[in-house]
Amino acid sequence: MQYAPRMNRSAKPEHKPLDGVSANAGPIASPVRAGRSRKSIGQAGRARGPERAEIDEIPRLGKPAPEPQLAANGVRWLPVPAWNRLGWLWHGFSTRMGGLSRAYCAEGSPGELNLGFTPADSAEAVAANRRLLAEAVTGDAATPIATIRQIHSNIVVVAGRETANRKPPPKADGVMTDEPGLLLGVLTADCIPVLVADRKRRAVAAFHAGWRGTVQRIVEAGVGRMRLEFGSAPEDLVAAIGPGISQCCYNVGDEVLAAFESQFAYARELFVEVEDPDPVRVRYPMLFLNQRAPGHQPVGRKLHLNLIEANRRQLLAAGLRPAAIQPAGRCTSCQPGLFFSHRASGGHAGRMMSVIGIRPGR
Ligand SMILES: [Zn+2]
């Protein structure tokens, strides 16, 4: 009985609305939507922890999300604040702001920074946008950018200045170099971009990690390839996980959970079940019960994957220290005004580019 007063006192903060908890998620991001409850499916059958831990879906490592920088040429891009002291390193994550593309914006609005050669956009605008990004990050619009034709694989290629502008680019989802004077670029519009730098050997890498590439361990394999190619030691590596779709918005099917479970002992820790807020489903559950295929999720529940955490786990598995990994902490789907998002736009989206390179002469 002596515990009763204490429980009563703590009851209030424990039951504050979910919105209140998301207030520390950054100035723009609002990853937790009111009215949904969620639980980690890894906790099923175990005693449930405090409410706060369950909704804290974006790993927070004590670093605030960086604010977009405005370059003199109008390009808005995100640096990694902790990397600014690495004077030899070029790096950045683009946003959709700045640039000359007209394909994904309303008439009359300023042009945008689509960096992917998508069917909807003009190739001239995309090529010009790539020069603007190179100029924003390196100070020289002519800095070559080595890109890859991304195929959701675990293939990694080594790039150099000579091969940077090869057409068509090689099929891969990771690209690395120890040559100064070029940028490596991966394109995303919800998938997770990961940049890695070796502070000692001065080598860099960029990876594209959608769920299929993540299941195939693109980042873990990529760090292994850096060890092979450049003699990189994991303790010398730093990594940044760029803006991508976060767990708040990344609803996936049962086949994704099955694929992760087949590969990772920690798979269940990457997923949460979110109550489906669809009012029709809530009101007429029998309607959807009849349509449910055997073995699928219960009606009224959706699986959400934390792809950012999945890739952080791969960096840890590859030997990086937790403090060496910087998450951007931004959800592309929650901020469609700042980022291109495949999901938020219903598939009609441009592409952002994440770039990394070695500054010459340092
Ligand atoms: Zn979101």
Residue 285's pLDDT band (boundaries 50, 70, 90)? low
Res 212: pLDDT: 98
Cα–ligand 1 centroid distance for 200 (angstroms) = 36
In the predicted model, is pLDDT for residue 308 greater than 80? yes
Cα–ligand 1 centroid distance for 216 (angstroms) = 24
> Per-domain residue ranges for the chain?
63-246+328-358
Average pLDDT, the chain: 83
Q: Percentage of the chain with pLDDT > 70?
A: 75
Nearest to 60 by CA among 13, 25, 23: 25
Q: What is the CATH number of domain 63-246+328-358?
A: 3.60.140.10
Least confident of 6-20, 82-96, 217-231: 6-20
Cα–ligand 1 centroid distance for 335 (angstroms) = 8
Residue type, 87: G
Beta bridge partners of 94: 77
Res 47: pLDDT: 35
Average of pLDDT values for 66-71?
90
Cα–ligand 1 centroid distance for 351 (angstroms) = 17
Contact (Cβ atoms closer than 8 angstroms) between residue 56 and residue 220: no
Least confident of 40-54, 71-85, 244-258: 40-54
Cα–ligand 1 centroid distance for 191 (angstroms) = 12
Average of pLDDT values for 55-67?
51
The string of pLDDT tens digits covering residues 101-143 is 999 998 888 899 999 999 999 999 999 999 999 999 999 999 9
Residue 5's pLDDT band (boundaries 50, 70, 90)? very low
Residue 292's pLDDT band (boundaries 50, 70, 90)? low
Give the number of residues written for the chain. Answer: 362
Residue 223's pLDDT band (boundaries 50, 70, 90)? very high
Cα–ligand 1 centroid distance for 332 (angstroms) = 7
Residue 362's pLDDT band (boundaries 50, 70, 90)? confident
Residue 281's pLDDT band (boundaries 50, 70, 90)? low
Cα–ligand 1 centroid distance for 33 (angstroms) = 9
Least confident of 70-79, 187-196, 291-300, 335-344: 291-300
Cα–ligand 1 centroid distance for 236 (angstroms) = 32
Cα–ligand 1 centroid distance for 299 (angstroms) = 22
> What pTM value is reported for the model?
0.80
The string of pLDDT tens digits covering residues 319-360 is 999 999 999 889 999 999 999 999 999 999 999 999 999 999
Average of pLDDT values for 29-46?
42
